[in-house]
């Protein structure tokens, strides 16, 4: 199959259509319209087979995750997603694989009203790069650097599930029954917290998504904001699937260090503390307070029953070259 035949069959005139896309797939560039009184947020992520997803991962999950991690970055900034571009590198054209891939791609973009507006296809090692764009009202963007000592620390959803799911797939963890399916599904199909990001952008002081693990990603907020944090590990939100699959200590370890959850970590000042529940009411997503920021620059203190807690795995995933 030639490149333009592939694009025409799988990507042109498919998926969600937005009124703010003037020219989409088919020309040298896409042309879009940014709404009045909105800023444009832009993020790019590359996922490589064998590094960011298993080489035998289902095609639908590969596409879903590729889109989700980019939408999660937009969510962490408080942006409403609008458009994506896709660069797709494939060693060969497998039509059945591509059918499943585009099914995952369009399922997620349709749900979040996002349009695929362009990209590229090449022959090479399997990898996907997406550039995602979204809108933020001026002055309401969330960053990593706005937190202050005394702010309360929150996380959405539950932590550690995706990491446990990956270990199951790699035969590092033996789990059976419904818990196995739930944990694997959380690894394959993460949920970008877009609604939460837009709901908290007027009250949160900082935010980041959890891609490399709670300890690692929280560290970015602490460094950028010149703060420390006390985190109470007994408050970490854990799913029933995870706690039924591993010991309590193992569950805490997954929650602290495993990546790929794509939940949000954010901070809220004491003054806005009471407004959080109201802001999140329409999202149907629970946020759990796991600690508080301190004035100890960069120092993360893990506590259990107010005693120092030392994790077995002290850091999350770190990219290397």
260 is in an annotated binding site: yes
**Do the beta carbons of residue 150 and residue 229 sit within 8 Å?**
no
**Is the same domain home to 104 and 158?**
no
141 lies in a domain?
no
120 is in an annotated binding site: yes
- Kindly state the tokens that stand for 311: 């994790």
166 lies in a domain?
yes
Last residue of one domain, picked from the residues 105, 136, 167: 136
Average pLDDT over residues 192-220: 96
**Do the beta carbons of residue 260 and residue 190 sit within 8 Å?**
yes
CATH number at residue 211: 3.90.650.10
Domain that holds residue 63: 3-136
225 is in an annotated binding site: no
pLDDT in tens, 290-316: 999 999 998 999 999 989 998 876 555
pLDDT in tens, 23-48: 988 889 999 999 999 999 999 999 99
119 is in an annotated binding site: yes
Q: What pLDDT, on a 0 to 100 scale, did the predictor assign at position 310?
A: 87
Average pLDDT over residues 47-56: 92
Count of domains for the chain: 2
Question: With bands split at pLDDT 50, 70 and 90, how would you rate the model's confidence at 178?
Answer: very high
99 is in an annotated binding site: no
44 is in an annotated binding site: yes
Last residue of one domain, picked from the residues 71, 101, 136: 136
319 is in an annotated binding site: no
Q: What pLDDT, on a 0 to 100 scale, did the predictor assign at position 226?
A: 97
56 is in an annotated binding site: no
187 is in an annotated binding site: no
**Is the same domain home to 219 and 72?**
no
104 lies in a domain?
yes
**Is the same domain home to 194 and 303?**
yes
**Is the same domain home to 161 and 110?**
no
| Terminal CA-CA length for the chain | 34
Question: With bands split at pLDDT 50, 70 and 90, how would you rate the model's confidence at 4?
Answer: confident
**Is the same domain home to 277 and 222?**
yes
**Is the same domain home to 200 and 92?**
no
Q: What pLDDT, on a 0 to 100 scale, did the predictor assign at position 230?
A: 97
DSSP assignment of 228-241 equals EEEEEGGGS---HH
182 lies in a domain?
yes
**Is the same domain home to 112 and 171?**
no
Question: With bands split at pLDDT 50, 70 and 90, how would you rate the model's confidence at 13?
Answer: confident
Question: With bands split at pLDDT 50, 70 and 90, how would you rate the model's confidence at 186?
Answer: very high
144 lies in a domain?
no
**Is the same domain home to 194 and 254?**
yes
CATH number at residue 75: 3.30.1330.10
Cα(165)–Cα(162) distance, rounded to whole angstroms? Answer: 5
**Do the beta carbons of residue 169 and residue 247 sit within 8 Å?**
no
Residue 319 pLDDT greater than 70, yes or no = no
73 is in an annotated binding site: yes
């Amino acid at each position: 199959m030639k490149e333009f035949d592939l694009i025409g069959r799988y990507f042109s005139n498919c998926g969600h259509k937005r009124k703010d896309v003037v020219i989409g797939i088919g020309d040298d560039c896409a042309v879009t319209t940014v709404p009045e009184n909105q800023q444009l947020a832009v993020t790019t992520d590359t996922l490589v087979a064998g590094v960011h997803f298993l080489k035998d991962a289902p095609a639908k999950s590969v596409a879903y995750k590729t889109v989700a991690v980019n939408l999660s970055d937009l969510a962490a900034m408080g942006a409403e997603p609008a458009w994506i571009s896709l660069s797709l590198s494939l060693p060969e054209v497998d039509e059945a694989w591509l059918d499943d891939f585009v099914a995952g791609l369009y399922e997620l973009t349709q749900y979040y009203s996002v349009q695929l507006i362009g990209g590229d296809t090449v022959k090479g090692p399997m990898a996907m790069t997406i550039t995602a764009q979204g809108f933020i009202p001026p002055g309401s963007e969330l960053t990593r650097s706005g937190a202050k000592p005394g702010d309360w620390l929150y996380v959405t959803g539950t932590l550690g599930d995706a990491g446990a799911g990956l270990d199951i797939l790699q035969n590092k963890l033996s789990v059976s029954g419904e818990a196995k399916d739930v944990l694997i599904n959380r690894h394959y199909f993460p949920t970008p917290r877009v609604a939460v990001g837009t709901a908290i952008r007027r009250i949160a002081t900082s935010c980041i998504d959890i891609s490399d693990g709670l300890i690692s990603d929280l560290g970015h907020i602490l460094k950028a904001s010149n703060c420390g944090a006390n985190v109470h590990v007994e408050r970490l939100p854990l799913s029933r699937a995870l706690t039924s699959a591993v010991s309590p200590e193992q569950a805490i370890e997954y929650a602290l260090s495993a990546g790929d959850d794509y939940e949000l970590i954010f901070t809220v000042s004491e003054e806005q503390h009471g407004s959080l529940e109201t802001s999140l009411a329409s999202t149907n997503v629970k946020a759990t307070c796991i600690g508080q920021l301190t004035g100890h620059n960069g120092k993360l203190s893990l506590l259990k029953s107010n005693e120092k807690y030392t994790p077995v795995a002290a850091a999350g995933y770190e990219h290397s070259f």
